[in-house]
A and B are shown apart, each in its own frame.
Chain A
Amino acid sequence: MPVIPSAPDLVGSDRPADDGRLIARIAKGDPDALGELYDRYGRVVFGVLYRMLASPEAAEEVVQDAFHSVWRQAGSYRTERGSVRTWLLAISRNAAIDWRRTKGRRVERETAIDDAASLTDESRVEDQVITTLRAERVRVAVNGLPAEQREVLDLSFWSGLSQTEIAARTGTPLGTVKSRVRLGMTKLRDRLTDESPGQR
């Protein structure tokens, strides 16, 4: 797949106030605002979908579905319930889970590892450095979790399995799965918050 530079790289931007204004414009039917929202978060969303679906074609289809959902649901977005970007992330992950359940049935190995590497970002060096530092911080936090907590978070975040499904797949009691999810997420939240004061 050709790597075509897209919109300006704004990964990692923290601009909740601006985001709220964008959503208000989208709710009024402004397509340019949707484009601006995509410029800010489209890359992260696409990256998540690519990893969840393991297929560039599927990720392309679902990212469009997700932004169409944003277009339709913008009027129902409520600031007090969370930031725009986490709302968008939830919409996108749900779209991926729906896609897999209706069309995917399983994650197909449609892209070799070397093909995936060809999609890797080629953005500006300073952006890469920032992104790499953030990624390293998260990687250290995730790797610091006990293996069983990492496993349930992987299955929930990337595979979209419910706690019941995780219990069935891993042969672990449901109560234990719930406990691991809670402990793992709490540790990640605390570590990432402690190490990045003022990030949010």
Chain B
Amino acid sequence: MTIRNGGHPRDELAAFALGILEPGERARVDAHLDRCTSCRAETRAYEETMWDIAEASSLARPPAYIRERIVTRERRRAAVPPAVRRSLGATVLDFLRRPLPLAIPLALAAFLVFSAVQVLDLRARSEAYARALDGVVGARVVSLAETGEAQGRGSLIVPSSGDPYLLLRLPAPSAGRTWQAWVLRGDVVLPAGLAQSRGDVDVIRLTTPLAAGDSVGVTQEDAAGAQQPTSKLVLVGRGG
């Protein structure tokens, strides 16, 4: 860290406000700001400049339900009496203090190994998905929203010429099952193709053409496919 101007880290204050100092530098500047009024004022001016930039660049408007979700989440939490919260914490602590049979740490170790394998697999799939998206040129890319039924991501790719397709990063389906695409047209649900594995990502070429107002969705079905969905949607998005 550059210390000049009588011990004041003036050269670092802009970077501090931007949050781009390395952790060690940040801690040193932070400690200095605790005791230096003039550096605090200078940092504050930088932070207000950042706010100006943020405000000037904010074109997007959040959907109204975001506010409701934010407030409701905390209202529910606030509704739980502190005493109940404390007793829950105490219960957990009591549980953790109990002597453990040997089987529990062994099971925990096995679980951790399994989880690590899962995480590595998920990371490989995420990177493959990102690489596949990187390779998309000259097409409209629309993200699909998760419904909460399975962890994953997906995008609808609409090339300027050729058939639309889905690029998916979803967990491996159960044995004898596969991911199936659907075109949702009003109350009608049309089968739109089965997943083909391309390494760590899945691709579904849409066999049903998209029309204006259509949505697309993905479910897990028998490997041969289904005429109507038999499980819940895991991804959904606007298609037409």
Contacts and interface: CB of A to CB of B under 8 A. Distances in A.
A24 interface: no
Contacts of B65: 4
A5 B61 CA distance: 8
Interface string B43-65: 11111111111111111111111
Q: How large is the interface on A (under 10, 10 to 19, 20 to 34, 35 or more residues)?
A: 35 or more
B94 interface: no
B145 A11 contact: no
B223 interface: no
Interface in A59-73: 59-60, 63-64, 67-68, 71
Contact of A120 (B40, B48, B60, B75): B60
B64 A138 contact: no
Contact of A3 (B48, B61, B130): B61
A135 B59 CA distance: 10
Given A35-B71, A42-B62, A48-B54, A182 B142 contact: no
B86 interface: no
Contacts of A2: 63
**Chain B interface secondary structure, helix, strand, loop or mixed?**
helix
A6 B45 contact: no
Contact of B60 (A5, A46, A83, A161): A46
A44 B57 CA distance: 8
A59 B60 contact: yes
A35 B52 contact: no
Contacts of A12: 55
A81 to B, nearest CB: 7
Interface string A1-17: 11111110001100000
A156 B50 CA distance: 11
Nearest to B140: A112
Given A119-B60, A162-B22, A182-B15, A44 B66 contact: no
Given A6-B67, A47-B57, A105-B126, A82 B62 contact: no
Interface string B222-235: 00000000000000
A42 B145 CA distance: 22
Contact of B143 (A43, A94, A108): A108
B53 A138 contact: yes
Interface of B: 2, 11-12, 14-15, 17-22, 33, 40, 43-67, 69-75, 78, 126-127, 130, 133-134, 136, 140-143, 145-146, 155
Which 5 A-B residue pairs are closest in the complex by CB-CB distance?
A: A47-B58, A110-B143, A185-B14, A138-B56, A86-B47
Interface of A: 1-7, 11-12, 29-32, 34-35, 38-39, 42-48, 50-51, 55-57, 59-60, 63-64, 67-68, 71, 80-83, 85-86, 89-90, 93-94, 97, 105-106, 108-112, 115-116, 119-123, 131, 134-135, 137-139, 142, 153, 156-157, 160-164, 166, 178, 181-182, 184-186, 188-189, 192-193, 200
